[in-house]
Structures are given as C-alpha cells and as structure tokens.
Amino acid sequence: MPLVSMRQLLDEAAKGGYGVGAFNVNNMEQIQAIMEAARATQSPVIVQASRGARQYSQDNFLYHLMLAAAELYPEIPVAMHQDHGNSFETCKSAIALGFTSVMMDGSLKADGKTPTDFEENVEVTRKVVEYAHERGVTVEGEIGVLGGIEDGHGAGGTGLEHVTDPDQAVEFAERTGVDALAIAIGTSHGAYKFSKKPDGSVLKMDILIEIHKRLPRTHLVMHGSSSVPKDLQDIVNKYGGHLKETWGVPVEEIQLGIQHGVRKINVDTDNRLAITGAIRKVLFENPEKFDPRDYNKPAREAMQKVVAERMTQFGQAGHAGDYTPKTIEEMREGYLDGTLETRPSLAGAH
Ligand code: 13P
C-alpha cells in the first residue's frame, strides 16, 4: 500500500486506545528492522526522519527506501514523518518529497536551538498547518521545549526548564489546528534523561493528564521516550563502550500516558543503543571480521527486537489490518470539509 497519513493512524489508535511508536531512521537497515518488527507483530507504524537524517542519507535515498518498505510490506500501514522540522521551508520540502506527515517544531527558532516566544510558535505552525492540510498531510506541533539535543536539534539543558503550560497548550491547539501536539513534561532527547528512576518530581505525567482532559481531540505526542534499558547500556559497556549510568522513561509511564491521550511515542535512542551494542559485541569477539554484513545483520536484529517489544508495549501490535488506509487525497477532502477539524471550538460541529 502507499505511504499513509499519520493522522489516520493516530485517529485509529485513539479509537482503539493504543499508542503508535514513531521510530527514527537514517539508513536501510533501520528501515528494515522496523518493517520486520511491524510484520512480526502486525503493527501500523510511523517511520520518522530528522533533518540530520535527511542530510546524512540524502532525501532521495531515504524516500525511495521508504517506498520500497511500503511495496514490500503491503499489509502494514506506514506513515513517513518529518521529525523536528525547524522552519516552514523544511516542512514544505518534506511534503514535496512525499512525506505524509510533518512536525513543525516552532518551540525553537530556525536555528533549532533558541526557544521562540508563544506568538512566533503559533504563527509558523499555523502557516505549516494551512499548507500541509491543503495537501492532505498531517501536522504535529510542539509547545514547551524538550530537554537535550538530538542530531544537533534542541535547546539543551534539562527537560524541566520549559515544561508545557496547559493553558498555552489549549490556546495553541485552538489557534493552529494541529493534528498532534508534542508537549514537554520533563523528558529529554538522548541517553541522559534522568539521574535516577524518574518520579513525579521530574516526569510530569500530571501535566499530560490535565492537557488531555482539556484537549481530548488533539493527539498527544511524547518525545524523548526511550526507556534506555540497563541491559542495552550494559552490552555497550561490556564491549568497550563508556556510557555513564542513566535512566530513561519507564514503559509503565508511557502506558499511563497512552491511557491519557498519548498516541505517538518517539523512540530513537533505544534503537541506537541496541545497534551499537550488537556491533561492538561482534567486533570485540571477532576482531578478524571486516565484512560489514557480519555486524550489520546482528545490529538490525537487535533493533528489530527492541522495536517489536515497544510495539507490543504501546499496544499497536495486532492492529495493522483493522482499517483501510485513506488516500492522501481523501485526507485533503476531510480537512477541507471540516471533518478532520481538531480546534476545540470547531471540532464538535462534525
Ligand atoms: P529518544 O532520544 O528518547 O529516543 O527520543 C527520540 C525523539 O524524541 C525523536 O524526536
């Protein structure tokens, strides 16, 4: 099947009460790992590429790998999403390439580092929503600022510096009409999120729950949601790595989020750890090996295992065949006739 709309995936997840993992990719092996995990668990899935990934792999390589994925796994609904678009132009170029969903991260300026003010964020996000919806493409916005830096994108610092204000989240949703909203609740991109298992003082699930109560139709997105499991850290360190002790977001907290409106869960770091651990192990144990397939294959398998586990934990497993994917043209009509409206003041009309 062709690449499908992320909005439809999230609407279906909301109906079914589950979450959908959004996994970052840069190369063929990562895409294969995700698609194999999706097939094994019968999961719909979101595959996402950051600006850094698009530069690393070059747009066309990445896009054609995604088309191959859609062709080779016709039973799997798969959306292709731009992660952390930094400007209208980045989102426009992703749409021109064929992405079915874009994130306009207007919480930061186009430099990808400096926090914006609220009005700037509303303005750029609204412009992207207007452009994308006219073309049937989904839009995710962000209000509040995540901690850490990923692929050169991020304000740095801890996840608690710019936690989302629920009043602003409601106003943002109303004024932009985004399909999905990333909120900052204390998480950060990368491996170093928390210095101990997080509790409510650093991971603000109460804020998430309040936002969902006030914005029941807007799909919430949890960024920085790798769990950074100790076993993956240990493999990296056992075979020559130097990771400091660290904690990620416990899966049970993500599951609590899913009960309260979280429909998209971003995971990158756990897969990076799994790949690196597998490669280190092969090369440590077999220093004579030099065929990249000798380590890329176990690396791909290690990532597949993590992705399949998350798919099961997020609840998307078993849902690939639940619905007939709509075309992007059908989604466009839904945006035009108002049936896909999310703004709180207008959504009730349909
Ligand atoms: P992690 O670094 O926790 O995997 O988060 C990835 C992410 O949020 C991508 O946008």
Enumerate residues lining ligand 1, CB below 6 A.
24, 83-84, 150, 189-190, 223-226, 266-269
Residue 153 has a pLDDT of: 76
CA of 245 to the centre of ligand 1 (A): 18
Residue 349 has a pLDDT of: 54
Residue 148 has a pLDDT of: 76
What is the residue-level pLDDT of the chain in tens, covering all 350 positions? 789 999 999 999 999 999 999 999 999 999 999 999 999 999 999 999 999 999 999 999 999 999 999 999 999 999 999 999 999 999 999 999 999 999 999 999 999 999 999 999 999 999 999 999 999 999 999 999 877 776 777 888 777 778 999 999 999 999 999 999 999 999 999 999 999 999 999 999 999 999 999 999 999 999 999 999 999 999 999 999 999 999 999 999 999 999 999 999 999 999 999 999 999 999 999 999 999 999 999 999 999 999 999 999 999 999 999 999 999 999 999 999 999 999 988 876 55
Quick one: which atom of ligand 1 is closest to the CA of 268?
A: 4
Substitution site in 142, 189, 264, 270 for ligand 1 pocket (most atoms within 8 Å of beta carbon): 189
Return the closest-CA partner of residue 78 out of 93, 95, 64, 99.
99
Pairing of strands 219-222, 262-267: parallel
Catalytic residues: 83
Residue identifier of the C-alpha nearest atom 1 of ligand 1:
224
Residue 161 has a pLDDT of: 76
Quick one: which atom of ligand 1 is closest to the CA of 191?
A: 2
Residue 159 has a pLDDT of: 74
Count of residues making up the chain: 350
DSSP, residue by residue, 226-263 = ----HHHHHHHHHTT--PPP-B---HHHHHHHHHTTEE
Name the CA radius of gyration of the chain, rounded.
19
Quick one: which atom of ligand 1 is closest to the CA of 83?
A: 10
Residue 146 has a pLDDT of: 78
In eight-state DSSP terms, residue 201 is T
Substitution site in 221, 269, 314 for ligand 1 pocket (most atoms within 8 Å of beta carbon): 269
